[in-house]
Chain A
Amino acid sequence: MPDELINLTIDDVPVSVPQGTLVIEAAKQAGVLVPHYCYHPGLAVAGVCRMCLVEVEKAPKLQIACATTVAEGMVVRTQSEQAKQARMGVLELLLINHPLDCPICDQAGECELQDFVFQEGRPGTRYAEYSKRFNPVEDFGPDVLYVPNRCILCTRCVRFMEDLAGEPVINVSERGDRAYIGIHPNARLDHPWAGNVVDLCPVGSLLSKDFLHKARAWELDKTASICTGCSQGCNVTLDTRENVVVRVRPRPNLQVNRYFICDHGRLNYRWMNRGDRIEAPLVRRHATDWDEALSRAATVLRGAGGKAVALVSPRTSTEALFLARRLLARFEWTGAFQVVMGDEAPLPGVPDLALRAERAPNARGAELLGYSRDYAAALETSRTAAVVLVIDEPDAAIETAGTLLYLGTVLPESAHGAEVVLPIANVAEEDGTYVNRDGRVQRYFQAKPAPGMARPAWWVLSELLAQVDGAEHCASAAEAFDALAGSTDAFQGLSYAGLGAAGQGITAKAGARA
């Protein structure tokens, strides 16, 4: 057990929290969100916006919930007249120099200023007949625009760049109401993690160029997913508008990526919307239906013997990797994957968080299931194999005397000679899991429908297994995963439901999870 718990009441709700907890965090446990701007759980406390002023019994004046630590017997009131008046005052002051350009602002609909003003602001301003502060828009970096007029100077961006990115290229320049976020004249906001300042900005002051004018916040559907940019396994949210992925944002996971993702991952989504997808199964390049294609593939598998090779993308779900291996179990089996390498780019302020050199979200999962990194050897084996099964690996220059079965999202040159081509869903179109470099199994969820007749790879492989071996087929990724967990040592004790939205380490055992 950690230190003793501290008991206090917040808006008459009793809570018990560890010593040292901030009132603003304790309030969350009482179901109270204290309005705030400068505070962010992933950043150092600044205490400057003064929005989270609350009444603390026996304190001579209002206290900021973000910089006040809990004390035994403390009585906090967030809704006292005094506290509400103070916050209303802050909101009025924040608005006097804030343009009411919500109709053209990208942040509208997900703007904390909009939200809190709507919740508890004044119905009108008393700042009549004065002009507002004006500064032109500035181009801060590859994906960041700064709109100073909307800035409320919460300094989250400054603290992120200074404390976490370790590249203090932006600051608060000038003083008083002339203040703005300044950038070093010879610097750009081009740190590999700089894009986080856009998410951190509580208003529409720091904007993503990539997302600029793409969608209004209320048009977006949000789906929990896992970044495919590298083997770190950052938790993300895929924002889709009309079944098109338009934005990737970090989804907090304190065990993996805290509140952040790198720019590489953030911008690595356009391929999910590719138009040149395989939309129907092909048998010898002729489009057909699933029945014929599956039956043809099953016939091939049943009739063949000897060596089989699986060449898989490390972006393939753990479930599909498992089923593919099971499907080829009756052969002399070789499985392999190849990994694209890039530069490693850490976020210095957060331990164990980096854009990893291995740009493969499920390399670890593939390894755990027996797939090898020796791709060249597997290619060599393919020459004499009876069956070569490829899962979405377009770079494979496959030469084989046997039969090529190709499961893919798109049809590369190398797959033209395939006996059967089976169209599969991409990561945004299916449920599944990836295992990150630290052995954490994490679920991703379906964000949009797959095009045409494309189906998740786990479904396709499960259907084939049923036809070839008479196995019971899986109705969901969950069933596929649970079959995997039940038969693979590394995954023992895990269950799809138990993974939740935050994932679990492969070392976790059933008993420890309770």
Chain B
Amino acid sequence: MGYPHKPHAKETALLSKHFGDPDARTYKGWAKRGGYEAWKQAQTMAPAAITDVVKESGLRGRGGAGFPTGLKWSFMPKEKKKPHYLCVNADESEPGTFKDREIMRWTPHALLEGTLIAMRAIQAEVGYIYIRGEFTEPYAIMEQALAEATKAGVLGGHKIHLHRGAGAYICGEETAMMNSIEGKRGNPRIKPPFPAAFGVFGMPTTINNVETLAAVPHILRQGAAWYKAMSLSNPKSTGTKLFSVCGHVRLPGNYEVTMGFPLKDLLHELCGGMRPGRTLKACIPGGSSVPILNREESEGCLLDYEGCVEKGTMLGSGGVIVFDDSADMVYQIMRLARFYAHESCAQCTQCREGTAWTTKILERILAGQGKMADLDLLLDLSDNMTGKTICVLSDSCAAPVVSGIKKFRTEFEDYIAGRKQPVMVA
């Protein structure tokens, strides 16, 4: 169900099938809908066998990086010498992304079930679900669901903790999250060591996104081949993906489609197209951290990992931010840069200073005090901020700036040349 909208015929509702149905939230309701069947099945399987099924399904991480999930699980030590941990990334703080929130709101048991299966696959006895601090309602729902599942005895000796974030974007970065869980400041760690060797509390750890884990029970129940067959374009991108669409469309919301679905159809059909009299100008397909697409690129983009890369962007988290022709791209990009400047953890020089400087330059351009040289400076600065830091927050700030200047340069030049009314930036 295409909550909060009516389902669209072109959607493939797998994870979102029960969105909007409060009965599915409860343990009883979930069990009635086939809940925890996959978990029962998993308990009869060897951990390596579960990993193999997920590997075979082609499932890739839905948090942003798109790393093959089964492969990630297989990095965990086979012979268990220390406690293993699973961390579930429910921090979902990427601007434009709100899919995990809906999974937790409507199908909390789907996440718990996927979590339990993953824990068995990686031989973890303890799991942490790290929930974004602002998600008060999803947290309460998850808490309730966990209590019910515990009471029903489905955890099978596994321990799951819900851990609330405190509002930092960076805690969605997996190594920062582990620090945060440990009670430390949420600073990303240098890699190596990788989490599978030295993760939370220094123990082998796997971190998976909510949507990734919610897909796992379906894969177990219906088989890897079935899941793998769900692919409209590139066979390396399989299954369904939730897209959180926001911005200038008539029907913003979460939409679940099969991998390889055309972005054009998502925007113009599922989301009802632009507002009356407006045309599509730009689109960020994978959350605020990925390069911006112009109209032509957007309308030719197929929504899977490879399709997005082909257009010079990334599938990311699937947070689709849509801009119509009324959007001021300079202002929008400044807002994104300001977000990153605010959220930089302050460890790496390029990020700490670069995100703030980028913001200042953009604010100055908006105020009508920019110089043409500022554009080259922004590009050079962005180059300095790309690929040189511990995590990719700095790169994420640079991505929209670089693609924005490349694709919408005249809008910047209009401010600088005084052809456009300066904007007071609060």
Contacts and interface: CB of A to CB of B under 8 A. Distances in A.
Task: Note whether A and B form a binding pair.
Answer: yes
Given A174-B346, A176-B344, A50 B389 contact: yes
Contacts of A152: 349
Interface in B320-352: 341-350, 352
A172 interface: yes
A155 B342 CA distance: 20
Given A48-B348, A175-B168, A97 B343 contact: no
Contact of A127 (B168, B357, B388): B357
Contacts of A45: 190
A175 B357 contact: no
A89 B341 contact: no
A78 B154 CA distance: 56
A61 interface: yes
A176 B347 CA distance: 8
B357 A93 contact: yes
Contact of A175 (B343, B349, B360, B388): B343
Nearest to B389: A50
B166 to A, nearest CB: 12
Nearest to B393: A176
Contacts of A90: 349-350, 384
Contact of B346 (A62, A89, A126, A172): A172
Nearest to A45: B190
A179 interface: yes
B356 interface: yes
B346 to A, nearest CB: 4
Which of A47, A93, A97: most chain B CB closer than 10 A?
A: A93
A152 B355 CA distance: 16
Contact of A86 (B190, B352, B384, B390): B384
B349 A172 contact: no
Contacts of A175: 168, 342-346
Interface string A80-93: 00000010011001
B377 A176 contact: no
A48 B351 CA distance: 10
Nearest to B384: A89
B395 to A, nearest CB: 11
B156 interface: no
A93 B388 contact: no
Interface string B375-393: 0010000001001111000
Interface residues of A, number: 34
B215 to A, nearest CB: 30
Given A47-B390, A48-B390, A171-B185, A93 B384 contact: yes
Given A171-B185, A175-B168, A176-B342, A61 B356 contact: no
A74 B225 CA distance: 43
B341 A62 contact: no
A56 to B, nearest CB: 13
A154 to B, nearest CB: 9
A216 to B, nearest CB: 28
A115 B367 CA distance: 37
Nearest to B394: A50
B346 A53 contact: no
A62 B390 contact: no
Contacts of B343: 175-176
Interface string B175-209: 00000000001000010000000000000000000
Interface in A20-66: 45-51, 53, 61-62, 64
B397 to A, nearest CB: 11
Nearest to B189: A47
A412 B343 CA distance: 65
B349 A93 contact: yes
Contacts of B388: 50, 53, 61-62, 86, 89
A177 interface: yes
Nearest to B377: A126
Contact of A51 (B185, B349, B364, B377): B349
A178 B344 CA distance: 10
Contact of B349 (A49, A129, A130, A171): A49
A174 B343 CA distance: 10
B182 to A, nearest CB: 14
Interface residues of B, number: 27
Contact of B353 (A48, A61, A129, A177): A177
Contacts of A178: 346
B198 to A, nearest CB: 13
A130 B353 contact: no
Contact of B387 (A47, A61, A126, A127): A61
A172 B346 CA distance: 8
B252 interface: no
A67 B384 contact: no
Interface string B348-374: 111011111100100010000000000
A94 interface: yes
B349 A94 contact: yes
A62 B348 CA distance: 14
A97 B354 CA distance: 11
A460 interface: no
A169 to B, nearest CB: 15
Contacts of A62: 387-388
B24 to A, nearest CB: 38
Contacts of B357: 93, 96, 127, 130, 177
B346 A50 contact: no
A410 interface: no
A433 B350 CA distance: 48
A153 interface: yes
Nearest to A177: B356
A64 B357 CA distance: 23
Which of B185, B344, B353: most chain A CB closer than 10 A?
A: B353
Contacts of A89: 350, 384, 388
Contacts of A96: 353, 357
Interface in B279-297: none
Contacts of B390: 47-48
Nearest to B341: A176
Contacts of A179: 346, 352
Nearest to B387: A61
A46 B346 CA distance: 13
Interface in B292-317: none
B314 to A, nearest CB: 16
A171 B185 CA distance: 10
B190 A176 contact: no
B185 A50 contact: no
B21 to A, nearest CB: 40
Given A176-B344, A176-B346, A94 B353 contact: yes
B179 to A, nearest CB: 13
Contacts of A97: 353
A49 B353 CA distance: 11
Given A175-B342, A176-B356, A48 B347 contact: yes
A93 B364 CA distance: 18
A388 to B, nearest CB: 63
Nearest to A90: B349
Interface in A157-198: 171-172, 174-179
A177 B388 CA distance: 18
B350 A93 contact: yes
> Which are the 9 A-B pairs with shortest beta-carbon distances?
A179-B346, A177-B356, A89-B384, A93-B353, A47-B190, A176-B344, A48-B347, A61-B387, A90-B349
Given A89-B384, A126-B377, A177-B346, 13 more contacts: A48-B348, A48-B349, A50-B350, A86-B388, A89-B350, A90-B384, A93-B353, A93-B357, A172-B185, A172-B347, A175-B168, A176-B344, A179-B346
19 contacts: A46-B190, A48-B347, A48-B349, A48-B390, A49-B349, A50-B348, A50-B388, A50-B389, A51-B349, A62-B388, A86-B384, A90-B349, A94-B353, A96-B353, A129-B364, A172-B346, A176-B342, A176-B356, A179-B346
